[in-house]
C-alpha cells in the first residue's frame, strides 16, 4: 500500500467535498472553491469528516495515482481552509519591485523594467524597507498555480552562484562558488 495514499484526509469544519459521476472533485471552504478531475478508476469516499482515496487494483499505475491524488486532494483541502503563501526576495543593487493591482513591475538589472501580470486567483504584495532586500509576497488557495507563478518570477533572474544576485525564495539557500584565483 502507498504510505501517502492510504492516509486519510481530515476535513475541517466548514469544508464540503462533492464528487460528481464523472469523478470531478469539488472542495468548498471558507477561502474559496477548487475543482480537480480525478482518474475514473480511483474511488473517493467521504465519511464522518474524513476523505479517503481508494485504488481498484495493485497495478503500478494505480499505485502511482493513489499517492498522487491523495496529495493533490490534501493540498486542495488545506488551500480552502488556510491558503498558501510564498515569499520571494530580490537580491542585488538597484533591484526593485512594485505592484499596481495585479501588475508586478520589476527592475532586475535589464535595460527595461519587466511588467508581470499576476493571475486574478492570487494576491500579490510588495514590501521595500530601507536596508532590506525588496520582497514579493504571493498568496492563494491553489498550490499548483502559486508555485508556478513564483517559479516564473524567479526564472526572470535566477540567483547566480558568485555574488548571489537575483530573485530567490526567502527560505532558499544559494551556494556560492569561489571566483577566479589569479595565479602565476
Question: Which CATH number covers residue 155?
Answer: 3.90.930.12
Residues in contact with 141: Cβ distance below 8 Å, sequence separation at least 6, in sequence order:
31, 32, 34, 79, 80, 83, 84, 121
What angle in degrees, to the nearest 10, is found between the helix axes of 60-81 and 143-155? Answer: 90
Decide if pLDDT at 1 tops 60. Answer: no
pLDDT of the residue at 184: 59
- Rounded to an integer, the average pLDDT of 1-29 is 89
pLDDT digit string, tens, across residues 43-75: 999 999 999 999 999 999 999 999 999 999 999
- Rounded to an integer, the average pLDDT of 85-114 is 95
Residues 104 and 64 in one domain: no
pLDDT of the residue at 2: 64
Q: Read off the pLDDT band of 139 (50, 70, 90).
A: very high
Scored b (16 or more CB within 10 A) or e, 17-51 reads beeeeebebebebebeebebebeeebebeeeeeeb
| Dihedral sign (CA 62, 55, 58, 7) | positive
Residues 88 and 147 in one domain: yes
- Provide the domain limits for residue 108: 84-169
pLDDT of the residue at 183: 61
pLDDT of the residue at 180: 84
DSSP, collapsed to helix, strand or coil, labels residue 177 as: coil
pLDDT of the residue at 123: 96
Residues 17 and 75 in one domain: yes
pLDDT digit string, tens, across residues 150-163: 999 999 999 999 99
| CA 123/CA 145 separation, integer angstroms | 12
Decide if pLDDT at 16 tops 90. Answer: yes
Residues 165 and 106 in one domain: yes
Q: Please state whether the predicted TM-score (pTM) of the whole model is above 0.85.
A: yes
- Rounded to an integer, the average pLDDT of 5-15 is 91
pLDDT of the residue at 132: 93
Say if 49 falls within a structural domain: yes
| CA 126/CA 104 separation, integer angstroms | 9
| CA 152/CA 139 separation, integer angstroms | 15
Residues 55 and 93 in one domain: no
Residues 89 and 164 in one domain: yes
pLDDT of the residue at 110: 93
Residues 101 and 136 in one domain: yes
Residues 72 and 121 in one domain: no
Decide if pLDDT at 148 tops 90. Answer: yes
Residues 160 and 99 in one domain: yes
Task: Give the end of a domain, one of 81, 101, 132.
Answer: 81
Task: Give the end of a domain, one of 53, 81, 109.
Answer: 81
- Rounded to an integer, the average pLDDT of 34-45 is 92
Strand partners, 105: 98, 115
Please, what is the average pLDDT of the chain? 92
Amino acid at each position: 500500500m502507498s504510505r501517502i495514499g492510504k492516509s486519510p484526509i481530515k476535513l475541517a469544519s466548514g469544508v464540503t467535498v462533492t464528487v460528481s459521476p464523472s469523478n470531478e472533485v469539488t472542495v468548498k471552504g471558507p477561502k474559496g472553491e477548487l475543482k480537480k478531475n480525478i482518474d475514473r478508476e480511483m474511488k473517493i469516499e467521504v465519511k464522518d469528516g474524513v476523505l479517503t482515496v481508494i485504488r481498484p487494483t495493485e497495478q503500478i499505475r494505480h499505485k502511482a495515482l493513489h499517492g498522487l491524488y491523495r496529495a493533490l486532494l490534501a493540498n486542495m483541502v488545506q488551500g480552502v481552509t488556510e491558503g498558501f503563501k510564498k515569499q520571494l526576495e530580490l537580491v542585488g543593487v538597484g533591484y526593485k519591485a512594485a505592484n499596481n493591482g495585479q501588475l508586478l513591475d520589476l527592475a532586475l538589472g535589464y535595460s527595461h523594467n519587466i511588467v508581470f501580470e499576476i493571475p486574478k486567483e492570487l494576491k500579490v504584495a510588495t514590501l521595500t524597507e530601507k536596508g532590506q532586500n525588496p520582497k514579493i509576497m504571493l498568496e492563494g488557495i491553489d498550490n499548483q498555480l502559486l508555485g508556478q507563478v513564483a517559479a516564473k518570477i524567479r526564472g526572470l533572474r535566477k540567483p547566480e552562484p558568485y555574488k548571489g544576485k537575483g530573485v530567490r525564495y526567502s527560505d532558499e539557500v544559494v551556494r556560492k562558488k569561489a571566483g577566479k584565483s589569479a595565479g602565476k
